Structure 1
Amino acid sequence: MLVLGRVRASSSCGKRAEMRWSTGDDRGDRMKTGLNRVIPDHLPEALQREPPLPQPRICMWKYLDIHSMHRLEKTANTEEMREVLAELLGLSCPEQSLRDAITLDLFSHALIFCRQQGFSLEQTSTACALLQDLHKACVATPLGNVEECYRYFTSVLFRHGVRRPPFSINLFREEQLLALADYVVNTYFRHFKLYKYVFTPQVRLDLSLTYVGLQPPKLWPEDETEKGGEEAEEQAVTPQEEPETVVPPEPQPEPSQVSTLQAYIRTQMNKELRQLQQLMEERLQASEERLSSKLATLERPFQPPSSKGKNKTK
């Protein structure tokens, strides 16, 4: 079962109607994808240059070595296998982290598939490494790169189906290659956008507006407040006399251009709302009249016959 979570990214405000793109922190070492497509110029420089994909290589014993595979082979049930797999993959607490839970589900189901197909330890380790490299290529960029990832997956897969050392080995048979390719397509590539949504940082646009020529609201200076506090401290207070608390009168805010602008905006909004309400009422009335005319035309065939038929019967 795939668990989805929302990734929050840090953002910062701009000035004078500036638009800034902000992304989240980088999540570990990321493999990169190269795309020959048009990218908007207003994206950050880190997103405009998409890094290239790595060269396809043999990935047997790349992440899970022979000792790790023997530990997984000795597990008796699925829960024990998931615990060992979480330890080998460095997943601290999958129960609390959504990303760790999704990663654990991805590789645990892959191990179950390899056991059902009767893969050897070498084949199982290679299948998990191939899936992990594909996942790194997917989450390397928030932009869409499903076609590039699929080409990378097939090229790495064929590196383990043909004997041509040192470039490729015949680790899988033809039917095993087809079964593994169908499994990855029906599981990972079917939910490709969901994995990319969870594991890549979101890009957010922070828009801030500054009205040119508008004076800022007047603020009361802090010097007057500080002087009043110093004068109160200088007055000597005898022990018999109780200190009197003097509440300074609150200054009345002067009308500024900000309040005038707010009143103007409020007036225009009310005017637009009234016009919109009137337009909606006119449209509703017109549609009601059309429906009434249609109902009248439908009721006409059911009227009683005219007097000409009665004269004929006589």
Structure 2
Amino acid sequence: MEISSIFYPLLYIIRNLFFFLVSQPPRSRVLLWVDLKHSDMEEIEKSNSIPEIERILCRALLASDVAQPKQRVLLELYTNHVLFCKEQHFNREQTSVLISIIKNVHQFNTETPLNNTDHCLTYCSELLLCHSVRRPPFSIDLFSSEQVTQILSYFINTYMRHYFFYKYIFTPEVQLDISLSYIGIPEDTDIEETAQTVLQMAKEKLRGRQNWMEKFNKVLHWK
């Protein structure tokens, strides 16, 4: 039996297994004042320095010690998005929602060590759509179409560009162990014995084929 006849079906099974292990994006919902409250946004608007913004975000969004490397990465992520909101002159409600969107997308991304790039983009788009169309109580018209385009462009050029960086930091490493069992060979047999057994079976099969060919040639040349 050729290796390809075993390898490709096995690869197909593994690929489908990974597909089912990657969770689907959760249902989008309104995120106004979920993480950054009105009082937090008042302080952020009054702050004029990055350390002051980081102090407010750390208190509102991070539960553990900011000295930890993972928490420092998250703090930088949120701070950069707050600065982006300031550059785009977003109001308090828009800034609060955008930070919550980034937080939810990041949490969804780091739920699995598997590649869920498409699902992250879909989830981010659905959350933005939920805050750009007036359809209470399911969605609100907080962002305009131009602002949605700006946010998606910034999200792709920042978070998605470093997607595997965040995946590497916040998810455990996956190791895939594959074991093969052969019919007629005990599972507790060591590698050398298995190799010898397989080789002996191949020799016997080849010897039987040669004997059959000899008999067949004799029949063809028999007069």
Q: TM-score, normalised by structure 2?
A: 0.69
Paired with 2:32 and 2:46, the residues of 1 have a C-alpha distance of: 20
**Equivalent residues in 2 for 1:108-257 (5 A)?**
108-204=79-175
Paired with 2:174 and 2:145, the residues of 1 have a C-alpha distance of: 42
Q: Higher helix fraction: Structure 1 or Structure 2?
A: 2
Q: TM-score, normalised by structure 1?
A: 0.50
Of the candidates 35, 41, 45, which is equivalent to residue 73 of structure 1? 45
Structure 1: state its 5+ residue gaps. Answer: 1-36, 41-46, 214-314
State how many pairs are aligned: 170
**Equivalent residues in 2 for 1:18-33 (5 A)?**
none
Q: Is the 8 A contact 2:30 2:131 kept in 1?
A: yes
Q: 1:166 to 1:116 in 2, by over 3 A?
A: same
Task: Report 1 or 2 for greater relative contact order, CA contacts < 8 Å, sequence distance ≥ 6.
Answer: 1
Say whether residues 1:54 and 2:32 are aligned partners.
no
Q: Which amino acid aligns with 1:167?
A: F
Q: Which amino acid aligns with 2:43?
A: R
Report the Cα offset of residue 108 of structure 1. 0.3
Paired with 1:74 and 1:126, the residues of 2 have a C-alpha distance of: 19
Q: 1:60 to 1:38 in 2, by over 3 A?
A: same
Paired with 1:206 and 1:155, the residues of 2 have a C-alpha distance of: 36
Paired with 1:165 and 1:75, the residues of 2 have a C-alpha distance of: 33
Q: Is the 8 A contact 2:35 2:100 kept in 1?
A: yes
Report the Cα offset of residue 206 of structure 1. 7.8
Q: Deviations over 1:175-228 (max 9, x none)?
A: 111111111111001111111111001124689xxx868xxxxxxxxxxxxxxx
Q: Which residue of 2 aligns with 1:38?
A: 16
Structure 2: state its 5+ residue gaps. Answer: 1-14, 179-187, 191-223
Paired with 2:66 and 2:97, the residues of 1 have a C-alpha distance of: 24
Q: Which residue of 1 aligns with 2:75?
A: 104
Q: Deviations over 1:29-84 (max 9, x none)?
A: xxxxxxxx6126xxxxxx96443321011111111111221222222211111122
Q: Which amino acid aligns with 1:39?
A: L
Paired with 2:115 and 2:176, the residues of 1 have a C-alpha distance of: 19
Q: 1:206 to 1:54 in 2, by over 3 A?
A: closer
- Runs of 4+ more than 3 Å apart: 47-52, 204-207
Q: Which residue of 1 aligns with 2:193?
A: none
Q: 1:145 to 1:94 in 2, by over 3 A?
A: same
Paired with 2:136 and 2:128, the residues of 1 have a C-alpha distance of: 15
Q: CA RMSD in A?
A: 2.5
**Equivalent residues in 2 for 1:8-27 (5 A)?**
none
Secondary structure class of the residue paired with 2:65:
coil
Q: Which residue of 2 aligns with 1:260?
A: none
Paired with 1:103 and 1:113, the residues of 2 have a C-alpha distance of: 15
| Pair member with larger Rg | 1
Q: Which residue of 1 aligns with 2:60?
A: 88
